[in-house]
C-alpha cells in the first residue's frame, strides 16, 4: 500500500539520520579513533537495525569528510593531517570573511536592534555563545563542540544565506573532527579552548567589523599553533 511504503521510507530516513548523528558524535568525542575500521554489518548489529539505513548513514558521513569508504571492506575514520587543518581553517575564515563583507556592505542583519526578530535571534546566538564559553572554561570538549556548532549555525543563519550556513557548518564539523584527534592527547583542556563567542557577537551587533576580524584572526592563529604543537609532540 502507498501509505505503508511512505511510512517505511520515513522510518528508514529517520534511522539513517539518527545513526549518522550518533556516529558523528562518536567521532567528535574521540571515541572513534582516526583510522578505526568497521563494517556496515558491525554497526547494524551494534544498533540493532537493518543494513540499509546504516549504509546510507555511513555514505552521508563519508560525504561530510568524516569517514572514508574502503572498497569491499567497509569504512574507516578519516585521518587528518596538520596541513588538512590549516587548509580547513583558511577555507573557514574565507567563508566568515564573506559574512563580514556582506555585513559591511549593508544588508539588514543586526542593523536594527529594536526589531524583535533580530533582537531575539541575536539573543539566542549569544546564549549559545555563553554556554560554549562555560564549557570551554571547564575544559568540557564534548559540550563545547555541541554548543559551538549550534552557535555558528545560528550566527550564519542571521545572514539569510542557507548555502553559506550549510557550507560553514560542514567546515566546522571537519575542523572539530581534526582538532579532536589531537586535543584528546591533553588531560586537561582548560585554558586551551577558544571562548570568544559572545565577544564576537557583540562586535557584530555593534557592526565593528575590524574587531570581529581581529577576533577570528587570533582564534585561527591560536588554534593552528596548538594543533601544530600537539602534532609535533
Contacts of 227 (CB under 8 A, 6+ apart): 82, 85, 178, 179, 182
Helix (H, G, I), strand (E, B) or coil at 147: helix
- The pLDDT value recorded for residue 85 is 96
* DSSP structural state of residue 194: -
Task: Please report the domains of the chain, with CATH numbers, ordered by start residue.
Answer: 2-77 (1.10.10.10), 82-232 (1.20.120)
Burial (Cβ within 10 Å: 0-12, 13-18, ≥19) of residue 151:
buried
- The pLDDT value recorded for residue 108 is 55
Helix (H, G, I), strand (E, B) or coil at 158: coil
Regions of the chain with pLDDT less than 50: 1-6, 10
Dump pLDDT digits (tens) for 77-116: 999 999 999 999 999 999 999 888 877 776 555 555 566 7
Cross-strand partners of 77: 67
Q: What is the pTM of this model?
A: 0.86
- The pLDDT value recorded for residue 107 is 52
- Asked if 219 and 194 touch (Cβ cutoff 8 Å), the reply is yes
- The pLDDT value recorded for residue 4 is 36
Distances (CA, A) of 1 to 5, 6, 8, 12, 14: 6, 9, 11, 17, 20
Helix (H, G, I), strand (E, B) or coil at 68: strand
Distances (CA, A) of 77 to 177, 205, 211: 10, 39, 37
Amino acid at each position: 500500500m502507498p501509505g505503508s511504503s511512505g511510512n517505511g521510507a520515513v522510518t528508514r530516513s529517520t534511522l539513517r539520520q539518527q545513526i549518522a548523528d550518533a556516529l558523528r558524535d562518536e567521532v567528535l568525542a574521540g571515541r572513534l579513533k582516526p583510522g578505526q575500521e568497521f563494517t556496515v554489518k558491525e554497526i547494524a548489529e551494534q544498533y540493532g537495525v537493518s543494513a540499509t539505513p546504516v549504509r546510507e548513514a555511513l555514505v552521508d558521513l563519508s560525504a561530510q569528510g568524516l569517514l572514508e569508504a574502503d572498497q569491499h571492506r567497509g569504512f574507516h575514520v578519516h585521518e587528518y593531517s596538520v596541513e588538512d587543518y590549516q587548509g580547513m581553517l583558511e577555507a573557514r575564515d574565507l567563508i566568515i570573511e564573506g559574512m563580514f563583507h556582506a555585513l559591511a556592505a549593508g544588508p539588514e542583519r543586526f542593523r536594527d536592534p529594536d526589531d524583535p526578530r533580530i533582537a531575539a535571534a541575536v539573543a539566542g546566538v549569544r546564549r549559545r555563545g555563553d554556554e560554549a564559553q562555560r564549557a570551554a572554561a571547564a575544559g568540557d570538549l564534548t559540550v563545547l563542540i555541541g554548543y559551538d556548532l549550534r552557535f555558528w549555525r545560528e550566527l550564519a543563519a542571521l545572514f539569510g544565506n542557507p548555502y553559506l550556513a550549510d557550507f560553514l557548518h560542514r567546515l566546522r564539523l571537519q575542523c572539530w573532527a581534526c582538532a579532536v584527534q589531537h586535543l584528546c592527547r591533553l588531560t586537561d583542556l582548560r585554558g586551551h579552548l577558544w571562548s570568544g563567542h559572545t565577544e564576537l557577537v557583540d562586535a557584530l551587533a555593534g557592526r565593528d567589523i575590524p574587531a570581529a576580524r581581529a577576533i577570528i584572526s587570533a582564534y585561527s592563529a591560536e588554534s593552528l599553533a596548538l594543533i601544530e604543537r600537539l602534532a609535533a609532540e
